[in-house]
Structure 1
Amino acid sequence: MSLIALKDLSLVRSELLFKDLSFTVAKGDRLGLVAANGRGKSSLLRILAGEETATTGNVTNIRGLVVAFAPQDPPAHLLPLSFYDAVRDALTAELAETESWRVDILLDDLSVDEDIRHRPVSQLSGGWQRTMLLARAAIVEPDLLLLDEPTNHLDLGRIGVLQRFLMNLPRDCAVIAASHDRAFLDDTTTRTLFLRPTGSEDFALPYSRARQALDENDSARGRQYDNDMRKVKALRQQAAKLKNIGINSGSDLLVVKTKQLSERADKLEERAQPAHLERSAGNIRLTNSGTHAKALVTINDTQIETPDQRLLFRISKFWIEKSDRIALLGANGTGKTRFVKRLQAALIQEDPHIRGAASLKLGYSDQALSQLDQFPSPWEAVKRSSDLNDHQARSQLAGAGISMEAQTAPVSRLSGGQRARLAMLLLRLTEPNFYLLDEPTNHLDIEGQDMLENELIEHETACLLVSHDRAFITNVATRFWVIENKKLIEVDDPAPVFAKLIAE
């Protein structure tokens, strides 16, 4: 039974985001919504939630449909409230008074610690704010649950909690999740909608298999288009020859035949559809300045501690060679970020236990992209980070998906995807030979993730990265370091580590 139906929907903002979009959502559907940054995913979810109106088209709900929407960021009125009260706020006044116990049960299901429940939303991490927004949506017991980038800022343990929570929803509850997390989509969805300006495609398959089917469709469409255009060219050449013969011979029959051939060519050209060409949200390009040193980083018998000197884990002897791409894995709170910060500091200042090669040039990006905060605008960021002239700077920014208007606007106005691409551009301009990347795929769409993967692999770039993106780690990393039982160990296969972290 259909819960909601969209017919010939279109949405125009400063540009066309999508048109002629038609699909239905049935009870129990698990739909993954996929598109590049800025292509209308969040707007479509808000339209489904009744918070926005499409430019044209119709949205039809069954009577009494309860829709709940978990956006990416908490609205301002929730920030002063505690986690608990922000969830309770989603209930009607009567239910909040008589059935607040539902909040406690839900937060138990979501494994929310007692101390987290009483913290103000404004003081919560991005991951806990995401969990609060999910809880607000779920507490109303919706028929249709809408999730906008639900795994952003979540570690693998929290992603596991989210996946189990979705799996245990009532069978009739439908879910639409807009996400760039490929592994999450594969694990939780059975249907995928690729949102495009024209020709959006819907497959009854999880993401990876749907992506393969989409690529095959695009390839077939491209071959058909090329074939049609060859036929158009041949028809017009034939018409041109007959026209000349008809004029010279004065044959009315040949003139009629020429007109028929031209009309066939026009109709075929009108029907021909070129293969879809995705307009990029901006390029990601890296570089590797190279080095003759075999070992870029050497770590000898040290330990990583909290600021109050509590032991997190010990490291015996490890090294990073010039072509290593190392993924650092471990449960939340085991010390991954502390290790990254220690490593960054050691490569800038002398550390007796962690040494970098004399030729090492570090490129560092943290998960909050805080390195961008020192710059008033993208333009200033590029000019201060390079010797590029004005024309080159504008060209580099435009290539990274930052428009002329945005180049001189405050960095704070950039979208998450634009900030991520700007951070990668600044890294490339420093020409490093070793990258230290903390959650580099945060805010990147799947196209951006693919670009980053390809750049790291193609340039044989040495890097140490922390990421909760299982697909990214599997595709990029050549070595896997794991923090386990307060020790740093190396494993050959990350899959068992993923499984363990997800299950915790």
Structure 2
Amino acid sequence: MATYTEILRNEFPQIDDEVFDYITGVLECGSTDFEDGEEVFDAIGGVLQEVSSDSKNEDDIREICLQMFNTFKLDCNSVKQQVLLDAPVQLSQMAGEYDDASNDVQGIWMIKRVQNTTVDAKKLEKAEAKLKAKHERRTEKDSQKTSGPVVLEEASASQASSKKESRIETSGKSKSYDIRIENFDVAYGDRSLLTGAELTLTYGRRYGLVGRNGLGKTTLLKMMASRNLRVPSHISILHVEQEVAGDDTTALQSVLDSDTVREGLLKDEKELNARIAAGQSDGTESTKLSEIYSKLEEIEADKAPARASVILAGLGFSPKMQQQTTKEFSGGWRMRLALARALFAKPDLLLLDEPTNMLDIRAILWLENYLQTWQSTILVVSHDRNFLNAVATDIIHLHSQRLDTYRGDYENFIKTKEDRLKNQQREFEAQQQYREHIQVFIDRFRYNANRASQVQSKLKLLEKLPELKPVEKETEVILRLPDNFEKLSPPVLQLDEVEFFYTPEQALFMNLCVSADLESRICIVGENGAGKSTLLKLLLGDLTPVRGIRHAHRNLKIGYFSQHHVDQLDLNMNSVELLSSRFPGRPDEEYRHQLGGYGISGELALRPVASLSGGQKSRVAFAQMTMPCPNLYILDEPTNHLDMETIEALGRALTKFKGGVVLVSHDERLIRMVCRELWVCENGTVRRIEGGFDEYRDILHEQFCKEGFL
């Protein structure tokens, strides 16, 4: 196989000696660091394009760079021993020695350039700068790896308490199930999330907790669940946060196990019957069994399996799945199991954090109906506007390090908040005018002895006026999707007579014919397991059809947002470094501008990605996805973890976008804002619904009625 120097001479016979020495010097120094042909192209591609004098296009030069990279790999595989230097090499000293040496010295450090070279000197300097920047990034990345994962800051809570509250709590006399947490602070590391806040939860009401990403909604739930914030000890709390552990327990039994009282009584019954059967009775077993049976009857233990089965069925578990062991389920299904266990256990306070993220539309509609009859207290963090309208009786708004409570659903909250802010602004402006009026009088008669008493009276009046503050308006979230691309003739993406399966026994799609163009606004819906994510991967080309053809326009550029986007981010990097590693060679200002367009600005862009909230990580993923300016977006559950304002901004951006959109989402409002076409995955095919989301909702409602859920 030819060496890289031979490839260089053969492909560019007209190259002058200085440029040849420069390029070979770059390749020799970087041969062990280059990870692929693209990195070789980044280092020397610009210089080679200049040398080729338009005889070779960019693709040709990329292919040549790949050939040279392959020679490095061959050399690395053949060399098995390392050479250790006797002493460290000081590059700065070497550069100084070259500076004093004769001009005949050639190398990668060139002090002067011959002016008659065929390549612009600026091209060479730019290539050198690129290589230097690449080495610096790699060194920084390696040092991060050796230093281990980022150590995250911890959340903390503090709360003032009165002696009266402590006495009532320790005496056990409190029988109220209302919760009142006064004058408390919550912090995350050195950042204050809540200061002097108050939270009141009345038993039996359902509260929706809303606020911008990163303000501390999830942290507040965790502080309550861990009782770092004092909740009366007689009130049981269940926080649906972690997925169920995978073991040999069936899904149905896992749900039944969450009722510890029932399971304890059944265990005692079994032990007593075993003692009687073994002839070890002491005469008290009959009395104890009678007490156990009475308690089991009181809690309707015999109806528990049926109730657990109904909950599982509503969340999408078929009768067969209910008998499967928990270790057979994926993470998403185990999270559903955790939710089912919480609903079955009926705690006094149920804490839910984004429960709709793991559910399809059918399961969300079932959960809405189920929670409307919930007897105890719920505090739910959700970004789903329709879900909150269906479930919440009150809204708690987290902003400006405090909590404000509003009666009614989310729509009523929006209206009441706007009215409250208008009144607050009017009061502030009226007071400012009154202050100015008094100040004019004081300034006019300050030095008038006859009016001295009046001036003093006015000054005291100013001091007694309550200090009103102007309304702090939340900055509007604006997302912009770049659309500076040429129009492509339809169809730009097509699946024709496609058949696909993971196992031959069960075909997932048969005779599938769908297409999308730059005018498309498509939403794909269907139950979990119906093939929505598989359909996306077929459209992306990540999966190859067993039969049939995928057609894609040669100039099609797809932007893909995965519902597991966090798994694709390097959590040890900050957001600027993340974009720099993905799209190297651009100034930091460009990366920061791109991130700023998605709300990741200032010091937020320099924090490790691991320390960002779920919604902030999603915004970083959006910034990364849109940087290459795609002309078709394929989005898989893009609203997971986003706050209401960002979802609204995303909806507006997708509506204005001039390219195509294929969307998998369970967020009804986003679907209504963006999509004009609905594809339903079911029974191994994709069916288009002409009536849009309203027709699909009616179909699901009819199914619920048939299955006895409504």
Q: Which bracket does the TM-score occupy, shorter chain normalised? A: 0.7 to 0.9
2:179 touches 2:203 (CA, 8 Å); kept in 1? no
Q: What SS does structure 1 have at the residue aligned with 2:419?
A: helix
- Judge which range, 10-19 or 111-120, deviates more: 111-120
Q: What SS does structure 2 have at the residue aligned with 1:306?
A: strand
1:109 touches 1:165 (CA, 8 Å); kept in 2? no
Matched to 1:69, the amino acid is L
2:595 touches 2:605 (CA, 8 Å); kept in 1? no
Alignment match, 1:229: 432
Q: Is the alpha carbon distance of 1:33 and 1:343 closer, same or farther for their aligned partners in structure 2, counting shifts above 3 Å?
A: same
Alignment match, 1:178: 381
1:347 touches 1:362 (CA, 8 Å); kept in 2? no
1:303 touches 1:312 (CA, 8 Å); kept in 2? yes
Alignment match, 1:475: 673
Q: Is the alpha carbon distance of 1:289 and 1:498 closer, same or farther for their aligned partners in structure 2, counting shifts above 3 Å?
A: farther
Alpha-carbon distance, 1:328 to partner: 1.6
Give the 5 Å matches for 1:223-302: 223-243=426-446, 246=447, 251-265=448-462, 267-268=464-465, 270-278=466-474, 284-295=479-490, 297-299=492-494, 301-302=496-497
- 1:8 is aligned, of 174, 182, 185, to 182
1:481 touches 1:491 (CA, 8 Å); kept in 2? no
1:323 touches 1:460 (CA, 8 Å); kept in 2? yes
2:207 touches 2:394 (CA, 8 Å); kept in 1? yes
User: How far apart are the structure 1 equivalents of 2:602 and 2:413?
Assistant: 32
User: How far apart are the structure 2 equivalents of 1:290 and 1:214?
Assistant: 41
Alpha-carbon distance, 1:168 to partner: 4.6
Alpha-carbon distance, 1:439 to partner: 0.3
Q: Is the alpha carbon distance of 1:328 and 1:259 closer, same or farther for their aligned partners in structure 2, counting shifts above 3 Å?
A: farther
- 1:494 is aligned, of 668, 679, 693, to 693
The answer to whether 1:193 aligns with 2:396 is: yes
User: How far apart are the structure 2 equivalents of 1:459 and 1:237?
Assistant: 54
Gap regions ≥5 residues in structure 1: none
1:2 touches 1:24 (CA, 8 Å); kept in 2? no
The answer to whether 1:151 aligns with 2:348 is: no
Matched to 1:382, the amino acid is L
Alpha-carbon distance, 1:364 to partner: 0.7
Matched to 1:388, the amino acid is R
Alignment match, 1:361: 557
Give the 5 Å matches for 1:278-357: 278=474, 284-295=479-490, 297-299=492-494, 301-303=496-498, 305-308=500-503, 310-312=507-509, 314-316=511-513, 318-320=515-517, 322-345=518-541, 353-357=549-553
Matched to 2:509, the amino acid is L
- For residues 15-60 of structure 1, what are the alpha-carbon distances to aligned partners after superposition, in whole Å with 9 as ceiling and x for unaligned? 33234544543343222222223333334334544x2323xxx755
Please identify which structure carries the higher strand content.
1
- 2:264 is aligned, of 94, 100, 108, to 94
Alignment match, 2:167: none
- For residues 439-491 of structure 1, what are the alpha-carbon distances to aligned partners after superposition, in whole Å with 9 as ceiling and x for unaligned? 00011121221221222223445311100111111122233333355343142
Q: What SS does structure 1 have at the residue aligned with 2:178?
A: strand
- 1:73 is aligned, of 211, 219, 242, to 242
Give the 5 Å matches for 1:201-220: 201-220=404-423
2:561 touches 2:634 (CA, 8 Å); kept in 1? yes
- For residues 244-295 of structure 1, what are the alpha-carbon distances to aligned partners after superposition, in whole Å with 9 as ceiling and x for unaligned? xx3xxxx224344444445544554x53132243478x87543222322353
Q: Is the alpha carbon distance of 1:412 and 1:273 closer, same or farther for their aligned partners in structure 2, counting shifts above 3 Å?
A: closer
1:363 touches 1:432 (CA, 8 Å); kept in 2? yes
Please identify which structure carries the higher helix content.
2
2:353 touches 2:380 (CA, 8 Å); kept in 1? yes
Q: Is the alpha carbon distance of 1:317 and 1:442 closer, same or farther for their aligned partners in structure 2, counting shifts above 3 Å?
A: closer
Alignment match, 2:341: 136
2:348 touches 2:377 (CA, 8 Å); kept in 1? yes
Q: What SS does structure 2 have at the residue aligned with 1:441?
A: coil
User: How far apart are the structure 1 equivalents of 2:450 and 2:330?
Assistant: 79
Alignment match, 1:125: 330
**TM-score (norm. length: structure 1):** 0.82
Gap regions ≥5 residues in structure 2: 1-174, 270-295, 705-710
1:438 touches 1:465 (CA, 8 Å); kept in 2? yes
Q: Is the alpha carbon distance of 1:213 and 1:53 closer, same or farther for their aligned partners in structure 2, counting shifts above 3 Å?
A: same
Q: Is the alpha carbon distance of 1:161 and 1:355 closer, same or farther for their aligned partners in structure 2, counting shifts above 3 Å?
A: same
Matched to 1:72, the amino acid is E
Alignment match, 1:451: 649
- 1:108 is aligned, of 299, 304, 309, to 309
- For residues 129-179 of structure 1, what are the alpha-carbon distances to aligned partners after superposition, in whole Å with 9 as ceiling and x for unaligned? 33222233334333332222221221112223323432454xx32322221
1:439 touches 1:467 (CA, 8 Å); kept in 2? yes
User: How far apart are the structure 1 equivalents of 2:347 and 2:389?
Assistant: 23
**TM-score (norm. length: structure 2):** 0.60
Alignment match, 2:18: none
Higher RCO structure (Cα 8 Å, ≥6 apart): 1
Matched to 1:68, the amino acid is I
Matched to 1:496, the amino acid is E
Count of paired positions: 482
Q: Is the alpha carbon distance of 1:393 and 1:499 closer, same or farther for their aligned partners in structure 2, counting shifts above 3 Å?
A: same
User: How far apart are the structure 2 equivalents of 1:304 and 1:412?
Assistant: 40
2:184 touches 2:197 (CA, 8 Å); kept in 1? yes
Give the 5 Å matches for 1:39-54: 39-49=215-225, 51-54=226-229
- Judge which range, 333-342 or 399-408, deviates more: 399-408
Matched to 1:491, the amino acid is E
1:326 touches 1:477 (CA, 8 Å); kept in 2? yes
User: How far apart are the structure 1 equivalents of 2:514 and 2:593?
Assistant: 44
Q: Is the alpha carbon distance of 1:219 and 1:158 closer, same or farther for their aligned partners in structure 2, counting shifts above 3 Å?
A: same
Q: Is the alpha carbon distance of 1:370 and 1:101 closer, same or farther for their aligned partners in structure 2, counting shifts above 3 Å?
A: farther
RMSD: 3.6
Matched to 1:292, the amino acid is K
Alpha-carbon distance, 1:326 to partner: 1.9
User: How far apart are the structure 1 equivalents of 2:543 and 2:430?
Assistant: 57
The answer to whether 1:439 aligns with 2:637 is: yes
User: How far apart are the structure 2 equivalents of 1:219 and 1:74?
Assistant: 44
1:70 touches 1:134 (CA, 8 Å); kept in 2? no
Larger radius of gyration: 2
